[in-house]
């Protein structure tokens, strides 16, 4: 008969470690996925805002808003560095306010007219000169969106730091769990370890018998966590409306991105099983060598 392993593979502590590490890997995948989505969203928003401006023409006394809007349009179209000038009609401007004020509340209000401006390069555009020329237009205000861009960047940094902190806490918790599981395995197999010591087995030999168990546990739990994470993002993607925006669309973009982007995203997600395996293997080995020096 083929001899069985020195350390049984069906120990309760190893099963509990597999389940716990799978949950940790799942949480790590969610944190990494959220980090990727936030990074993409902020990059998309800031890239759009970086070259766009909004010119607002408000209703003022003794001034015809239509005439002032036309004056602003002519100035913008003739200014060097301006690529596109799009004048929004009154209905489009009112529609932007509907989520906050509704439709009835807008009746009779002096809703300003908006002009969407796209520049070739905001870094080389002479904003001071543009503001000076627009000063002839009554009720005009130029918004370069730099304030919103700074706020988005600040928010992205805060969310990134939070995601990294969550990943660090997950890693620390995983190390602690592996330490306790290793001690439990050694304690449960104390007679076997003592017997191996009596017949002259070295600590490195005993540690190798247990390393394989933790190696398989780390791989299995890591891939279980990644599988649950991908399933979660898939289900979130299925909840949204096709062609809509929001978190559902972002989840779909995470799973079904362009090849050059998908390679990077999936590489980060599938780094979780590698990290889980290394944590299990290295932490258990260090704990084993320290504990075996004192014979459990």
Judge contact between 194 and 295, C-beta under 8 A. Answer: yes
Per-residue pLDDT tens for 159-199?
A: 888 889 999 999 999 999 988 888 887 777 777 777 776 77
pLDDT value, residue 99? 63
Does residue 272 fall inside a structural domain? yes
Does residue 6 fall inside a structural domain? no
Global pTM reads: 0.70
Asked if 192 and 254 sit in the same domain, the reply is yes
pLDDT value, residue 240? 58
d(CA 147, CA 46): 11
- Report the domain count for the chain: 2
d(CA 34, CA 68): 45
Q: Is residue 296 over pLDDT 70? A: no
Asked if 288 and 205 sit in the same domain, the reply is yes
pLDDT value, residue 223? 93
| DSSP state string for 188-226 | HTHHHHHHHHHTT--HHHHHHHHHHHHHHHHHHHHHHHH
Asked if 113 and 254 sit in the same domain, the reply is no
Domain-terminating residue out of 105, 138, 171: 138
And the tokens for 284? Answer: 């258990």
Q: Which residue has the tokens 């993409």?
A: 40
Asked if 68 and 21 sit in the same domain, the reply is no
Q: Is residue 224 over pLDDT 70? A: yes
Give the count of beta carbons closer than 10 Å to the beta carbon of residue 258. 8
Q: Which residue has the tokens 């439709």?
A: 103
pLDDT value, residue 293? 65
| Three-state DSSP state, 117 | strand
Q: Is residue 147 over pLDDT 80? A: no
Does residue 54 fall inside a structural domain? no
Asked if 124 and 178 sit in the same domain, the reply is no
Asked if 222 and 176 sit in the same domain, the reply is yes
Q: Nearest Cα to 276, choosing from 227, 231, 242, 234?
A: 227
pLDDT value, residue 123? 65
Per-residue pLDDT tens for 244-255?
A: 455 666 677 777
And the tokens for 42? Answer: 């902020």
d(CA 198, CA 62): 103
And the tokens for 221? Answer: 């739990």
Per-residue pLDDT tens for 86-138?
A: 888 777 767 776 666 666 655 666 778 888 888 877 667 777 888 888 888 88
And the tokens for 94? Answer: 């009112």
Asked if 287 and 155 sit in the same domain, the reply is yes
Count CA atoms closer than 13 A to 208's CA, side-chain side. Answer: 6
Q: Nearest Cα to 48, choosing from 137, 149, 141?
A: 149
Give the count of beta carbons closer than 10 Å to the beta carbon of residue 89. 11
Does residue 53 fall inside a structural domain? no
Q: Is residue 222 over pLDDT 60? A: yes
DSSP state of 54: E
Asked if 165 and 280 sit in the same domain, the reply is yes
Q: For residue 102, give its domain range.
A: 59-138
Asked if 119 and 73 sit in the same domain, the reply is yes
Does residue 3 fall inside a structural domain? no
Asked if 91 and 236 sit in the same domain, the reply is no
d(CA 281, CA 44): 40
Does residue 257 fall inside a structural domain? yes
Asked if 110 and 75 sit in the same domain, the reply is yes
Q: Is residue 263 over pLDDT 60? A: yes
Does residue 255 fall inside a structural domain? yes
Does residue 143 fall inside a structural domain? no
Domain-terminating residue out of 116, 138, 160: 138
Domain-terminating residue out of 71, 103, 138: 138
Per-residue pLDDT tens for 11-68?
A: 667 788 889 999 999 999 999 988 888 877 777 666 666 677 888 888 788 778 888 8
Asked if 207 and 113 sit in the same domain, the reply is no
And the tokens for 216? Answer: 């398989």
């Amino acid at each position: 008969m083929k001899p069985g392993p020195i350390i049984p593979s069906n120990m309760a502590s190893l099963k509990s470690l597999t389940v716990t590490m799978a949950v940790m890997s799942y949480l790590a995948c969610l944190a990494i996925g959220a980090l990727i989505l936030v990074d993409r969203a902020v990059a998309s928003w800031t890239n759009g805002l970086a070259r766009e401006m909004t010119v607002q023409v408000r209703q003022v006394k003794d001034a015809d808003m239509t005439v002032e809007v036309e004056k602003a349009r002519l100035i913008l179209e003739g200014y060097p560095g301006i690529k596109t000038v799009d004048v929004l009609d009154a209905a489009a401007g009112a529609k932007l306010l509907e989520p906050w004020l509704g439709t009835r509340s807008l009746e009779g209000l002096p809703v300003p007219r908006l002009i969407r401006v796209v520049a070739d390069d905001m870094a080389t555009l002479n904003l001071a000169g543009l503001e000076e020329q627009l000063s002839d237009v009554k009720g005009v205000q130029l918004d370069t969106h730099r304030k919103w861009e700074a706020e988005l960047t600040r928010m992205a940094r805060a969310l990134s730091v939070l995601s990294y902190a969550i990943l660090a806490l997950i890693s620390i918790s995983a190390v602690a769990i592996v330490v306790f599981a290793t001690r439990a395995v050694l304690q449960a197999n104390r007679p076997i370890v003592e017997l191996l010591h009596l017949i002259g087995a070295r600590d490195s030999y005993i540690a190798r018998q247990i390393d394989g168990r933790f190696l398989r546990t780390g791989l299995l739990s890591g891939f279980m966590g990644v599988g649950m994470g991908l399933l979660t993002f898939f289900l979130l993607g299925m909840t949204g409306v096709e062609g809509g925006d929001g978190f559902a669309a972002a989840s779909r973009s995470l799973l079904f991105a362009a090849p050059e982007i998908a390679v990077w995203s999936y590489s980060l997600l599938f780094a979780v099983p590698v990290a889980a395996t290394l944590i299990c293997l290295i932490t258990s080995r260090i704990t084993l060598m320290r504990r075996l020096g004192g014979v459990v």
